Structure 1
Amino acid sequence: MTDAVSSAANSTAANASKTATSSKSLASNFQTFLTLLTTQLQNQDPTSPMDSNQFTQQLVMYSQVEQQIDTNSKLDSLISLSGNQTSNLAMSYLGKNVVLSDGTGQLYGGSADWTYGLANGAKATTLTVKDSNGNVVYSKTADSAGNTAGTHDFKWDGTKNNGETASDGLYTLTVSSTAADGTSIKTSIASRVGVTGVDLSGSSPQLIVGTGEVPLSSVSLVTLPVSSSSSSSSSSSSSSS
């Protein structure tokens, strides 16, 4: 975690140094330009003065470059601030349960739980579980109860279609549902996992859940662990009595 934070800090420092170098270079070039301009004006032929439009255009160009460097500097600051805010948000998820809406679920101790929803009643619904490499490890056809409109719980014990036991880790559930006329039915999937760490080494923070990682964008709900909530409630009750 320390290395990740140091990496982010070094990246910010590098951007700041690059902007400072550009500003210094521009200032040096501008000073050289003014020196040349002054020398040319002092030594120009009075009967045939130099065209001032060219110098005016160059001054405008220098001004535009200076403004662009200043804009880039402000953008670097905004990007750095946004990155820090995103990292802080990710860190606040530590030790909490999150609901994932991208189909990702965690198999641990022989159990992985999802909830899927059907917008309308279906004729056929197929549930497919894939590993982190996208390989299908388990699939089944839902029974009649699992084809009704609404939400349904789906529990997988980690047994693959070939009879082998899947190792603990992150798996993805996909739901394919069709109506009697063959049209597709809109589905949704959710699962609850615990956040045990945050990976800040990449361009965007990743939440560590079990043995894998998920992006912040896949989180639709954040809750306290049941044990923590129960402890808080018990403490409040004890204090009241």
Structure 2
Amino acid sequence: MIDPITASANATATQQAQGLTGAAKSLGKDDFLRLLVAQLQNQDPLKPQDNSTFVAELAQFSSLEQTVAINERLDTLALQNQGLQNSNIVDMVGAMATLRGGTITAEGSGQPVPFGFELAGEAHTVKVTISDFSGNPVRTINVGSRAAGKVTLNWDGKNDQGIVQPKGPYTVSVTATDADGATVDVDQETRGLITAVSFDKGYPVLHLQNGMNAPVGDLLKLER
């Protein structure tokens, strides 16, 4: 048999709890205290709940509230840090960048166009192929043997026939082999003026004057 006093108390507490949860899906400090008071007011006077139960509930809520406050502070700090990083990245506009990649820009005047790459090991033969934006090779340069490390070269802006090529972006492809004919790994570098910075899903992207777009993680060197 159900105790009518207990049933009435439980029904009242349940109704008050439903009213609170209907107003908000998550309970705040005030909601928790109102529920606690309602629970005390509507408990069975013949079978009052143990005080230790309320103490435990208060301790749990206090711990949860502190955790939420810490998380909110961490979120705020993360946003502030991200804003500072974005501001520093935007300040890169106007600087000369050296990045991983093989895109260069010819001025169309026959001026030397610098480019570079890094050899993972000693190379017996190194060949550089420069292609236009459509992928058509315009110049082949046989560099010869090179020691491991960084190599810096200049393209005179001309094709194999000595004709100055039009202004625009070009791609540099480097192949290298050792004395046994095995492939030597090559990391290519490109230089260009940073003209703009954008953000792709929160990640910064550098836009160069030569038409190359690269994530900031590809940045190797910055010069003013």
Q: Same fold (TM over 0.5)?
A: yes
Q: Deviations over 1:137-160 (max 9, x none)?
A: 5498752x4332152415284869
Counterpart of 1:229 in structure 2 is none
Name the Cα RMSD after superposition: 3.8
Counterpart of 1:121 in structure 2 is 122
Instruction: Identify if the C-alpha distance between structure 1 residues 190 and 62 changes in structure 2 by more than 3 Å, giving closer, same or farther.
Output: same
1:155 is aligned to 2:155? yes
Q: Deviations over 1:178-235 (max 9, x none)?
A: 32335443433322211222225751332221234322222222223xxxxxxxxxxx
Residue 105 of structure 1 aligns to which amino acid in structure 2? T
- Listed as ranges, the matches of 1:68-217 within 5 Å are 68-100=67-99, 102-110=100-108, 113-127=114-128, 137-138=136-137, 143=142, 145-149=143-147, 151-153=151-153, 155=155, 157=157, 168-169=168-169, 173-200=172-199, 202-210=201-209, 211-217=211-217
Q: Is the 2:122–2:178 Cα contact (8 Å) retained in structure 1?
A: yes
Instruction: Identify if the C-alpha distance between structure 1 residues 42 and 113 changes in structure 2 by more than 3 Å, giving closer, same or farther.
Output: same
Instruction: Identify if the C-alpha distance between structure 1 residues 92 and 49 changes in structure 2 by more than 3 Å, giving closer, same or farther.
Output: same
Instruction: Identify if the C-alpha distance between structure 1 residues 120 and 63 changes in structure 2 by more than 3 Å, giving closer, same or farther.
Output: same
Counterpart of 1:4 in structure 2 is none
Counterpart of 1:219 in structure 2 is 219
Per the TM alignment, residue 131 of structure 1 is displaced from its structure 2 partner at its CA by 8.4
* TM-score where L is the length of structure 2: 0.63
Q: Deviations over 1:29-77 (max 9, x none)?
A: 4323322322332343344222455544543443344233323322222
Secondary structure of residue in 1 paired with 2:144:
helix
Instruction: Identify if the C-alpha distance between structure 1 residues 206 and 124 changes in structure 2 by more than 3 Å, giving closer, same or farther.
Output: same
Per the TM alignment, residue 103 of structure 1 is displaced from its structure 2 partner at its CA by 1.4
Instruction: Identify if the C-alpha distance between structure 1 residues 30 and 85 changes in structure 2 by more than 3 Å, giving closer, same or farther.
Output: closer
Bigger radius of gyration: 2
* Matched residues, number: 191
Q: Is the 1:105–1:113 Cα contact (8 Å) retained in structure 2?
A: no
Counterpart CA distance in 1 for 2:60 and 2:129 is 60
Counterpart CA distance in 1 for 2:135 and 2:200 is 30
Q: Is the 2:97–2:194 Cα contact (8 Å) retained in structure 1?
A: yes
Unaligned runs of 5+ in 2: 1-23
Q: Is the 2:198–2:205 Cα contact (8 Å) retained in structure 1?
A: yes
Q: Is the 1:116–1:154 Cα contact (8 Å) retained in structure 2?
A: no
* TM-score where L is the length of structure 1: 0.59
Q: Among all aligned residue pairs of Structure 1 and Structure 2, give the percentage whose two residues are the same amino acid.
A: 25
Q: Is the 1:113–1:155 Cα contact (8 Å) retained in structure 2?
A: yes
Counterpart CA distance in 1 for 2:62 and 2:191 is 55
Instruction: Identify if the C-alpha distance between structure 1 residues 175 and 106 changes in structure 2 by more than 3 Å, giving closer, same or farther.
Output: closer
Counterpart CA distance in 2 for 1:139 and 1:66 is 67
Instruction: Identify if the C-alpha distance between structure 1 residues 88 and 44 changes in structure 2 by more than 3 Å, giving closer, same or farther.
Output: closer
Instruction: Identify if the C-alpha distance between structure 1 residues 159 and 81 changes in structure 2 by more than 3 Å, giving closer, same or farther.
Output: farther
Counterpart of 1:59 in structure 2 is 58
Residue 155 of structure 1 aligns to which amino acid in structure 2? W
Bigger fraction of residues in strand: 2
Q: Is the 2:123–2:145 Cα contact (8 Å) retained in structure 1?
A: yes
Counterpart CA distance in 2 for 1:54 and 1:115 is 72
Residue 223 of structure 2 aligns to which amino acid in structure 1? T
Counterpart CA distance in 1 for 2:141 and 2:120 is 15
